[in-house]
Amino acid sequence: MIKTLTKCFCGFVLGWLIYMVAMVLTTYDGVLSLIFQPFMAALFSCAFVVAALLVGLPLRAPRIREVWCGVGWWVLLITVAAIGVMIFHVQLGLQTELVNPETKEKMKTMSPAAGAICYFLAIFPIVNLPGKKESNQAPANIGAHL
């Protein structure tokens, strides 16, 4: 339970940081946005951590867990790749133009669907980080202590 909470906290922190960096680089609506954006980052980060936990539930089934634990820390490459896609979205053709409904100002940003998918894929491996591969064999000297 403690390991799961630690993983969730790490996923939350990563999600919060990604959201805050994205907001600083894309929008600034004055002092009020500086006050509310950290709360919005926390809200979105919590929602995506919960989603990652729910989507990761099948990874706790015995046979799937065995395979998942065999992957080890390599799964963190998904996080690195997702963050890389967010950074290089323009070069990858994932940029779109949005219009602010209030000011009618056009701005170029990452496609919202691609952004949400990358945000989820950055958090998912952290929240569901595989543990050590469990051995199915019982200790050889189990009867010696009885």
| b/e map 39-61, b = 16+ CB within 10 Å | eebeebbeebbeebbeebeeeee
**Ramachandran quadrant class, 129 (left: phi over 0; alpha: psi -120 to 50; beta: rest):** beta
What is the pLDDT of the chain when averaged over all its residues?
Answer: 85
Hey, what are 21's tokens?
């960096």
pLDDT tens digits, one per residue of 68-119: 888 888 889 999 999 999 999 888 988 888 887 888 888 888 888 999 999 9
**pLDDT for the residue numbered 98:** 83
Residue 142 has pLDDT above 50, yes or no: no
Give this prediction's pTM.
0.80
